[in-house]
Structure 1
Amino acid sequence: MLQSLLVFVLAAFLEVGGGYLVWIWLKEEKGLMLGIIGMICLALYGVVATWQVQGFGRVYAAYGGIFIVFSIIWAMKFDSFKPDMWDIIGGILVLFGVCLIMYAPRN
């Protein structure tokens, strides 16, 4: 489970970080190099996600929850976002869903 969580964190860093770099390149007119680095990160995210041992559907469904929480954390750190009570409750709920999808005992 620890390895799976580390892969999720690395994938989230690459996807959210890459998306953020493309965002600031286009929306805030930062340099093209940031956009290129962002696109490379996004491509690497696609590779890293394949390191999970579960199947595609389960991994990508669970990753949606990881993406939500990591996006909130990223925005707090790099975009002065202040989550409210509903953001925090929503993040907790989706993390619970991630745990059910990925780590619930199955036959």
Structure 2
Amino acid sequence: MKTILIVSALFCGVVLTGCSSVMSHTGGKEGVYPGTRASSEMLSDDDTGIGTKSLVALDMPFTAIMDTLLLPWDLFRRDNSVKSRVEKSERENRATNSLIPPAPMPAH
């Protein structure tokens, strides 16, 4: 009986661990604590229903814990993600508008 209780508690802990954090990290959001930021935005949004707000409020401590555990990954990914590399390349090359056609090649 004690084993079943421990396994159930661990299963519930895994299931309830940071849904917003997991969704934010798999959805490509960048920065530190993306799940916690997404949860706080949902809580402050007037268009979010009371049912959703209550679930977000219950999940927020677990999301903060998961975001804290994933903080080293977020810091590593901040400078190495595809989005960051493209933004860096655009800054270095002073790209202002990707819709501008390239200059014609000179004829030989």
Same fold per TM (> 0.5)? no
TM-score (norm 2): 0.33
More helix by share: 1
Q: Which has the larger radius of gyration?
A: 2
Q: Normalised by the size of structure 1, how large is the TM-score?
A: 0.33
